[in-house]
Amino acid sequence: MKLIFDKSVPDRRGVTITRSDVATTVNIKKEFLRDKPAQLAELSELDVVRHFTELSRRNFGVDTNFYPLGSCTMKYNPKVTERIAAYPGFAHLHPLLPQLRGGGMLTQGALAVLYEMDMLLREITGMAGFTMQPMAGAHGELTGIMIMAAYHRDKGNKKTTVLIPDSAHGTNPASAAIAGYKIISVPSTDKGVMDVNALKKLLNDEVAGLMLTCPNTLGLFDPNIKQICDLIHSVDGLAYYDGANLNAIVGKARPGDFGFDIVHINLHKTFATPHGGGGPGSGPVGVTKKLVDYLPVSIVTKRHDGTYALEYDRPKSIGYIAPFYGNFAVILKAYVYILMLGKAGLVRVAENAVLNANYIRVKLQKHFEQAVKAICMHECVLTPSKGMLDSGVHALDVAKALIDRGFHPPTVYFPTTVHDAIMIEPTETESKETLDSFIEAMIDIAEVAKTDPEKIKASPLTTPVCRPDDTAAAKNLDLACL
């Protein structure tokens, strides 16, 4: 398909810019001006609409296809949340308004959303206070690690390392490293959970904390979780809960009760806000009482008269990590989602997410290998059977063959601790009928792989492109059309 620039026709115009009602005055030195206009495409409005409509048809989304991308929680994004985020009272609100005298009273509705969301998330996680500012999960991790560092600095602790399990998402070690820590990897047992004995050996006064996803990336809840948190506390380390997989336990169990000190939540996962083709997300961070003072500036508080205010005077705070209050529209959508589900609904979310994942796991266990033979939580990790691998059919081939059968592939080759991993996270918004047809497709792929592996390796055949050359892309860099 042509690039938008290739469709450009000189002098063609899209939207008409409003007429000027003032004189054109040159108030800028000539040498400060650009010599020729930016070479943007010149198109009619219809050209632009058609171009992007055509592009949209080259995408799978949750609205078009089952999207069991493990670890990403691709659940349905309720339309009502889009509608509410577009209410002019929210969408047209300038973020600096509360910083003007009298401006705070003109933003009470927005401040209420932030405050009430804080309260809901406290109850859901068992934490004592939240910042809504982090703009994605990884941003939340960095914020959390900065809070960890501030805590240790305050106590005069000389801590240098952060412990992270070998099965963790790559963001965990990356976040801790850019915050200035050395990373030490904690091995897993053959049951797929943290090796507690290995952890004990790694504990010393240098350890600032531990970052953990629970359930982990194998979809397993670590039954030793409380002991692990206690062990970290024994060296005055802090336990960090990566909330990427909160969907598995939301409403049923709370990281605060496990012993975690810091928690981030991916609102775009557990609380159903759209993933936007890669973002925006939102990654609020919650902390226990002893860490509340370190939360970023600003925090929304509620006054005695019921009005809301922003608190900036926070001497122990790690400071500003975002310009304002986070990805407000995303927070708003997640807030609406929680309000709609309520206490009973959230429990059903976790239950059905886990039920659906196990249903797939059990129905496929004769056709694929399970990375760990156990009940899983919200996602299951499979690998191709030995027979499939022997005929040269790998996780990637299964993924591509699923595309031809109308499904977005699961996450493949992650976690990296499992060879040829196929990580399936169906989420609770998918029905038994959808799961059944997915299971049928997976079984079909396993069968065809036995008799005609080349057919699987040739897929996908139904898409506009097939298996792009990644190596050529990285060697002959073409990153922009200039």
Partner 1 sequence: MPFIANTAGQQKQMLAEMGLTMDKLFSDIPKGLLCGQLNLPDGLPEQEVRGALAELAGKNSIDLTLFLGGGFYDHFIPAAVYSIISRSEFYTAYTPYQPEVSQGTLQAIYEYQSTICRLTDMVVANASIYDGGTAMYEAMMMALRITGRNKVIIDDSVNPIYRVMIESYTKNLKIEHVLTHCQTGLVDREQILAKLDNDTAAVILQNPNFFGCVDDFSDIAEAAHKKGALLVVSSYPISLGILKTPGSMGADIVTGEGQSLGMPMSFGGPYLGFMATRMEYVRKMPGRIIGRTKDRNGNDCFVMTLQAREQHIRREKATSNICSNEALCAMTALVYLSLLGKEGLRQTAQLCADKASYAYSRLTAIPGVKSHFKANWFFNEFVLDLPKDATDVIGKLIEKGFAAGFPLSRYYPDMKNCILVCVTEKRTKQQIGMFAEALESVL
Partner 2 sequence: MVVKGLLYTKDHEWAKIEGGVAIIGITDHAQNQLGELTFVELPDIGKEVKQKGELAVVESSKAASDVYSPVTGKVIEMNAKLEKNPEIVNDDCYGAGWICKIQITDKATTKNLMDAAQYEEYLKGL
| Residue closest to 41 by CA, chosen among 29, 31, 51, 26 | 51
Among 6, 11, 35, 470, binds partner 2 (CB under 8 A): 470
Shortest approach of partner 1 to residue 291 CB, angstroms?
Answer: 16
Among partner 2, partner 1, none, the one that 198 touches (CB under a kind-dependent 5 to 8 A) is none
Among partner 1, partner 2, none, the one that 156 touches (CB under a kind-dependent 5 to 8 A) is none
Shortest approach of partner 2 to residue 470 CB, angstroms?
Answer: 4
Instruction: Give the binding range for partner 2 (CB under 8 A) out of 50-58, 205-213, 431-439, 469-477.
Output: 469-477
Which CB, 386 or 468, lies closer to partner 1? 468
> H or E element: which one contains 211?
strand 207-213
CB 170: neighbour CB atoms within 10 A? 10
Residues 6+ apart with CB under 8 A from 257: 126
| DSSP SS3 for 245 | coil
Shortest approach of partner 1 to residue 31 CB, angstroms?
Answer: 6
Identify whether the C-beta of residue 217 lies closer than 8 Å to the C-beta of residue 421. Answer: no
Shortest approach of partner 2 to residue 414 CB, angstroms?
Answer: 11
Shortest approach of partner 2 to residue 469 CB, angstroms?
Answer: 9
Among partner 2, partner 1, none, the one that 392 touches (CB under a kind-dependent 5 to 8 A) is none
Cα–Cα dist 129/290, whole Å? 10
474 binds partner 2 (CB under 8 A): yes
27 binds partner 2 (CB under 8 A): no
Q: How many chain residues touch partner 2 (CB under 8 A)? A: 6
471 binds partner 2 (CB under 8 A): yes
473 binds partner 2 (CB under 8 A): yes
- The edge-to-edge listing of strands for the beta sheet with 129-131 is 129-131, 285-287, 262-265, 238-243, 207-213, 161-165, 182-186
Instruction: Give the binding range for partner 2 (CB under 8 A) out of 41-49, 165-173, 243-251, 466-474.
Output: 466-474
| Residue closest to 261 by CA, chosen among 244, 285, 245 | 285
Cα–Cα dist 127/268, whole Å? 20
Among partner 2, partner 1, none, the one that 356 touches (CB under a kind-dependent 5 to 8 A) is partner 1
475 binds partner 2 (CB under 8 A): yes
Which CB, 203 or 406, lies closer to partner 1? 406
**What is the footprint of partner 2 within residues 383-442 (CB under 8 A)?**
413
What would the DSSP string read from start to end of 408-437? ---EES-STTSTT-EEE---TTS-HHHHHH
Crossing angle, helix 108-125 and helix 328-364, to 10 degrees?
30
Identify whether the C-beta of residue 423 lies closer than 8 Å to the C-beta of residue 414. Answer: yes
CB 197: neighbour CB atoms within 10 A? 9
The pair of structure tokens assigned to 258 is 């496990």
Shortest approach of partner 2 to residue 413 CB, angstroms?
Answer: 8
Angle of CA points 210, 213, 219, to nearest 5°: 145
Among partner 2, partner 1, none, the one that 13 touches (CB under a kind-dependent 5 to 8 A) is partner 1
Instruction: Give the binding range for partner 2 (CB under 8 A) out of 260-268, 303-311, 419-427, 471-479.
Output: 471-479
Which CB, 106 or 472, lies closer to partner 2? 472
Shortest approach of partner 1 to residue 93 CB, angstroms?
Answer: 4
Residue 357's alpha-carbon distances to 114, 376, 402, in angstroms, are 33, 7, 17
Which CB, 339 or 473, lies closer to partner 2? 473
Shortest approach of partner 2 to residue 395 CB, angstroms?
Answer: 12
CB 437: neighbour CB atoms within 10 A? 15
What would the DSSP string read from start to end of 445-480? HHHHHHH-HHHHHH---SSSS-S--HHHHHHS----
Which CB, 366 or 475, lies closer to partner 2? 475
Which CB, 182 or 289, lies closer to partner 2? 182
Shortest approach of partner 1 to residue 34 CB, angstroms?
Answer: 5
Residues that bind partner 2 (CB under 8 A): 413, 470-471, 473-475
